[in-house]
Amino acid sequence: MNEKWERPMEVAVKEAIKGGATIIQLREKDAETRKFIETAKACLKICRPYKVPLLINDRIDVALASDADGVHVGQSDMPARVARSLLGPDKVIGVSCKTVEQAHQAWLDGADYIGCGGVYPTSTKANNSTVGLDGLKTICLASKLPVVAIGGINASNAITVLGIGPPNLKGVAVVSTVFDRSSVVGETRKLHSMLTEAVLKAN
């Protein structure tokens, strides 16, 4: 998406942070390892002054080489317990989960949070089955870990997602709704203010 808008990754990261993003996950499915490490280090220099954690998607080797704040792994990636043994106790580890059993295993394996979804269909992942709002709520209620909702979330449905209620549902992860736009900072700011206002009203 950043290539489509002729936007360097570092610019996208800085704009997202300025718009209110609280965690950045760097996802580079097609990048060569050396380039991925260089990009991660450059993004880390942007994130650190703002105290925004940078997580690397899937690649524990890149997280180690760049000294990123942690990783996010899927069910077909390195198990969280192995990632923990490599990264140590202080790095953040997130795990994608679609079932109660997967969420429980993530907790046993030493994960810090789970990403649950896709809540809705998404264009960023091929053949990704959805769990829907009911599945998200079921997993939240069963999980001993904080949960971030992922998949197909945008400005029109994010409040509905956060409104399902469980106190351990801590946020939403977005891609297209922020990065497939001309103004990353504008879209991030709009979504952030909308969600902040909804949370304040709920409390």
Active site amino acids:
27, 96, 125
The length of the chain is 203
Phi then psi for residue 104, to 5 deg, are -65, -40
The 113-117 sheet, strands edge to edge: 24-26, 54-57, 70-73, 92-97, 113-117, 147-150, 169-172
Instruction: Using alpha carbons only, give the angle 44, 7, 50 rounded to the nearest 5 degrees.
Output: 30
- Sign of the dihedral through C-alpha 191, 196, 14, 153: negative
Q: What does the DSSP 8-state code read for residue 28?
A: -
To 10 degrees, what angle do helices 33-50 and 9-19 make? 30
